Amino acid sequence: AAVTARYRAHLSPARATLGELFGGLVESSSSGAWVFTTDGRALLNCGGYGVLLMGARHPRVVRAVTEQIATHPVATRMLLEPRAGAAAEALAAVTPPGLDHVHFAGSGAEAVEAALKLARCHGRTRVLATHGGYHGKTMGALSATGNPMYREPFLPLLPEFRHLPYGDAAALEQELAQGPADTACVIVEPVQAEAGVHLPPPGYLSEVAASCRAHGALLVLDEVQTGLGRLGTWWGADREGIVPDMLLVGKALSGGVIPVSAMVARQEVFQPFGSDPFVHTSTFSAAPVAMAAAEAAIACIEEEGLVSRAKALGSHLLPRIRQIAAECLGELLVEVRGAGLLIGVELAEPGLTAELLLELISRGVIANHSLNSHAVLRFTPPAVLTDRDVDILLTTFEQACT
Ligand code: PMP
């Protein structure tokens, strides 16, 4: 009750109400895929909006971060500092070929801001985004986010943003060919996550890349949620072997311990940022603690084979969740879809999804709804689920559906 009261008094009353809706549970610690509450409950965390690829408190990441805090937590920003280069090199080594220049930030939205600013450095203004696309809630990122509900209270947003249907490469080609000729960039998710887990038709990403190239617009692939193995491939870009001009990474990049995000660009695209050390800065950008976390997290993903684990787990979970949902929900179910460990369950209406979410949480499994489509429940479990965790997830889902 004291926790709820403080939310009400000093944070957000609405958030307090949401917490109460979920049983007033108060989380106190976590380990791997599990979250523990102050009243001694253990919940399997299959939510986290994609942050927890390697589960909570991965020992290697925790060690790297605590050692860095104990020795040199904050850079002078005047001298050279070795951590940033090491993390950038590690990230460049796993991103698609040619993407080798990195700007580090904290949130996903900040990575988006960096991309939008860098795109505009190249002399053009317009930005094309997609309906339902989610890129964050700072003013620039929100200008790209395709959800009127979040946008309308803050209008006017940045000028010269236009939203097109996701998955429709022909509409984009037409806009680029026949619309104003000053499109700076196209920003798109390889699989839309917050829109409710939408996989584009095969060929879409390649066609988008080809249209961008043909019309001189930069392609910004927002992989804040899909990147680093979540989809069972290192990047959503790998689904069609494309290489964007800029790739945005966040969430799991720090191993889920602190906010770290990145905008990774080709050298000639990055040039305006690379030629002036002060053109786009932020006090905590590339902070040594963040860099230690990112380097350790990337090493974990590689050495523990988390990408292929995500793929294997996803190909087991998706058909089972689909089958259970079809059997137990009948016509209340619209569709189950996903890739790797990004799995969406769309119900006939948002109220039903909220009920199912509540049932799951009260039975000990945390899932999320999708920020841009409340009818779609989302599972984004870590790639470190054990066989027992998988059983618990499936059994609990079945019970919650019945
Ligand atoms: N882009 C995508 C694709 C996302 O899913 C999100 C977060 N859900 C963001 C950007 C924004 O990230 P953040 O919340 O860290 O600002």
Which ligand 1 atom sits nearest the alpha carbon of residue 261?
15
CATH placement of domain 59-303: 3.40.640.10
248 contacts 224 by C-beta, under 8 angstroms:
yes
CA–centroid distance, 117 to ligand 1, in Å, is 17
* 58: nearest Cα among 298, 225, 260: 298
Ranges in the chain annotated CATH 3.90.1150.10: 2-54+305-401
Backbone angles phi, psi at 80, to 5 degrees: -85, 155
Which ligand 1 atom sits nearest the alpha carbon of residue 192?
3
Question: What is the distance in angstroms between the CA of the first residue and the CA of the last residue of the chain?
Answer: 31
**For residue 156, is the peptide bond before it cis, meaning its omega torsion is within 30 degrees of 0?**
yes
Span 321-350, pLDDT tens digits: 999 999 999 999 999 999 999 999 999 999
**Separation CA 187–CA 55 (nearest Å):** 29
CA–centroid distance, 251 to ligand 1, in Å, is 8
377 contacts 389 by C-beta, under 8 angstroms:
no
Span 163-194, pLDDT tens digits: 999 999 999 999 999 999 999 999 999 999 99
CA–centroid distance, 110 to ligand 1, in Å, is 9
Q: What is the pLDDT of residue 140?
A: 98
341 contacts 380 by C-beta, under 8 angstroms:
yes
CA–centroid distance, 196 to ligand 1, in Å, is 14
CA–centroid distance, 224 to ligand 1, in Å, is 6
CATH fold for the domain made of 2-54+305-401: Aspartate Aminotransferase, domain 1 (3.90.1150)
Backbone angles phi, psi at 293, to 5 degrees: -65, -45
* 129 pocket-lining for ligand 1 (C-beta < 6 Å): no
- Minimum CA distance residue for ligand 1 atom 7: 136
CA–centroid distance, 172 to ligand 1, in Å, is 23
Q: What is the pLDDT of residue 253?
A: 98
DSSP class of residue 145 equals: -
* 108 pocket-lining for ligand 1 (C-beta < 6 Å): yes
Q: What is the pLDDT of residue 87?
A: 98
CA–centroid distance, 108 to ligand 1, in Å, is 5
* 136 pocket-lining for ligand 1 (C-beta < 6 Å): yes
Q: What is the pLDDT of residue 1?
A: 85
Ranges in the chain annotated CATH 3.40.640.10: 59-303
Q: What is the pLDDT of residue 366?
A: 98
Task: Please provide the DSSP assignment of 366-392 as one string.
Answer: E-EEETTEEEEEEE---TT--HHHHHH
- Minimum CA distance residue for ligand 1 atom 13: 108
CA–centroid distance, 40 to ligand 1, in Å, is 31
* 188: nearest Cα among 265, 233, 246: 246
Taking CA atoms, 319 is separated from 100, 325, 337, 343, 356, in Å, by 37, 10, 9, 10, 19
- Minimum CA distance residue for ligand 1 atom 10: 135
Which ligand 1 atom sits nearest the alpha carbon of residue 110?
16
Which ligand 1 atom sits nearest the alpha carbon of residue 248?
1
Low-confidence ranges of the chain (pLDDT < 50): none
- Minimum CA distance residue for ligand 1 atom 5: 225
Q: What is the pLDDT of residue 392?
A: 98
Q: What's the whole-model pTM score?
A: 0.98
Structure tokens at 321: 């969740």
